[in-house]
A and B are shown apart, each in its own frame.
Chain A
Amino acid sequence: MSKRHLLALFSNFDEAEAVVKELRKIRIQGFNAEKDMIVKSPIEHPEVEGFLGDKPVRVQWFTLGGALAGGLLAFFLISGSQANFFAQLKGGKPIVPFPPNFVLTYEMFILGGVYISVLGFLICAGLPARRSPLYSAKVSEDQIGILVQADESASSTLKSIFTKHQALEIQEEAGK
């Protein structure tokens, strides 16, 4: 049987939460609540994360790596270039002075941290993302969407769950 997407829109988080709980309990062939259900919301919502459970967010590992790499790269780039072939004296200071090198190491530590965090965000969040087959502009306005993917046979069961919890709209992918 072919898989089909369904998108249901709800007007508040409580109803969405109830739907998610039910979808987790239900046993339908070809539907796995972990993989085939995506919750979309107009704002970030700790309660959504709460009822969806903890998922690891790896962005900060990128940050750590990027910041350390940035700092080390800066220090060795700067010291290495100061200690070059000419190794020129300036102002009676040592050729590889620590205070100025520290300032720049600090700046590049931050630069590396920020850049690699953004990269990490894009990778971890999967952006740029391919658009879902079903989407409603209401999701970015004021409604919470739940997108499920299941066999055609399961769609009536799913729709009944949605309507039980006052879904404002149910979209269905056109048959193939």
Chain B
Amino acid sequence: MSVSNLLENWSDFRHTHPVDDVPHNPYKWAMSIDLDACSGCNACSVACYAENNLPVVGKEKYSHGHSMHWMRIERYWDEDLGTEGGRDFPDQGAQFLPMMCQQCEAAPCETVCPVGATNHTPDGINSQIYNRCVGSRYCEANCPYKVRYFNWYDYPTTDNVWPAEMNQQLNPDVTVRGKGVMEKCTFCIQRVTVAKNNAKNEGRLVHDGDVQTACQQACPTSAITFGNLVDPESRVHKQWQAQQVELAKDEQAKDKEEGGSGLRGYRIFEELRPYPSVMYLERVRESAV
């Protein structure tokens, strides 16, 4: 720690984030999910389990709320059971929302970790450092989306978490976490790191499509788009631009228009100002068509 370092870089260290006049350079990883394309098949969730060595906790622990699905498919229904034109059965016609860590630019979880186990990387991912985590769970307490998952038990030493032969599909690029550690979606940072390394060896930046997250790769309807938001050629940048959603705003200009904008793109809990990096494209409802 150096006081001279502190004084030299004083203005940098006093700068808040995110601000438009200091954009991310060269990478800002972001995602966009088309809820109209999402069929709720759960392939993304399973792929995430496989890619990130997630433990299968079992029915009893799940019912206690000890699930570990970094990517979860939420199901929502309108309140129309038994009404005219509404549902006939309770499970009919669900709307699906794949929810994972929103990698907020002003993440409420980062400020509150007492030991600094969660920070923000320069390329815009909310990092979780397993070794440092002491398990105070303040990060999950403060997350508005509750997308962080705590290791309530020691899963690597628990039976049937990765039953025989399934332990052979564990990803060697990703560690397994013991009890007492908090974990969450990392935008498959292990894949991003490999892509960045390859690109650096070739003396270039990562091109769009060089890196796919596990969920994006598994999705049969290509509902998930992942890429570099500050790369004008990337699909995710074009989608955000088309939907007129800006990263560093807590209320988009298009939402202030009279009668709404007709654009489907939105971010969840934008008004709480965490500046999430995931944009959702609203499902086209039958009533709108």
> 0/1 per residue, B102-145, Cβ < 8 Å to A?
00011111111100101110000000000000000000000000
Tell me the complex Cα distance, A86–B119, Å.
Answer: 10
Chain B: residues with Cβ within 8 Å of the partner, total of 28
Tell me the complex Cα distance, A80–B8, Å.
Answer: 11
**Given A81-B1, A84-B1, also A91-B107 (CB < 8 A):** yes
Tell me the complex Cα distance, A92–B18, Å.
Answer: 6
Confirm or deny: A96 has a beta carbon within 8 angstroms of a beta carbon on chain B.
Answer: yes
The reply to whether B105 and A92 form a contact with Cβ atoms under 8 Å apart is yes
Q: Shortest CB–CB separation between residue A110 and chain B, in angstroms?
A: 21
CB-contact partner of B17 in A76, A81, A89, under 8 A: A89
Enumerate A66-124 residues with CB–CB distance to B below 8 Å. Answer: 76-77, 79-96
**Residues of chain B with a CB closer than 8 A to A80's CB:** 1-3, 5-6
The reply to whether A92 and B106 form a contact with Cβ atoms under 8 Å apart is yes
**Residues of chain B with a CB closer than 8 A to A85's CB:** 5
**Given A88-B116, A89-B120, A90-B119, also A83-B9 (CB < 8 A):** yes
The reply to whether A95 and B120 form a contact with Cβ atoms under 8 Å apart is no
The reply to whether B120 and A88 form a contact with Cβ atoms under 8 Å apart is yes
The reply to whether B13 and A92 form a contact with Cβ atoms under 8 Å apart is no
Chain A to chain B contacts (Cβ below 8 Å), 6 pairs: A80-B1, A83-B6, A83-B13, A93-B16, A95-B13, A96-B10
Q: Shortest CB–CB separation between residue A103 and chain B, in angstroms?
A: 13
Q: Which residues of A approach B to under 8 Å, CB–CB?
A: 76-77, 79-96
Confirm or deny: B70 has a beta carbon within 8 angstroms of a beta carbon on chain A.
Answer: no
Q: Shortest CB–CB separation between residue B57 and chain A, in angstroms?
A: 30
The reply to whether B116 and A91 form a contact with Cβ atoms under 8 Å apart is no
Q: Which residues of B approach A to under 8 Å, CB–CB?
A: 1-3, 5-6, 9-10, 12-18, 105-113, 116, 118-120, 275
Closest residue of B by beta carbon distance from A89: B120
CB-contact partner of B12 in A77, A91, A95, under 8 A: A95
**Residues of chain B with a CB closer than 8 A to A83's CB:** 1-2, 5-6, 9, 13
The reply to whether B275 and A92 form a contact with Cβ atoms under 8 Å apart is yes
Counting chain A CB atoms within 10 Å of each CB, the highest count among B5, B13, B120 belongs to: B13
Closest residue of A by beta carbon distance from B122: A89
CB-contact partner of A94 in B14, B107, B113, under 8 A: B14
Q: Shortest CB–CB separation between residue B121 and chain A, in angstroms?
A: 8
The reply to whether A84 and B107 form a contact with Cβ atoms under 8 Å apart is no
The reply to whether A89 and B6 form a contact with Cβ atoms under 8 Å apart is no
The 3 closest A-B pairs by CB, nearest first: A92-B106, A91-B111, A88-B119
Q: Shortest CB–CB separation between residue A98 and chain B, in angstroms?
A: 9
The reply to whether B6 and A96 form a contact with Cβ atoms under 8 Å apart is yes
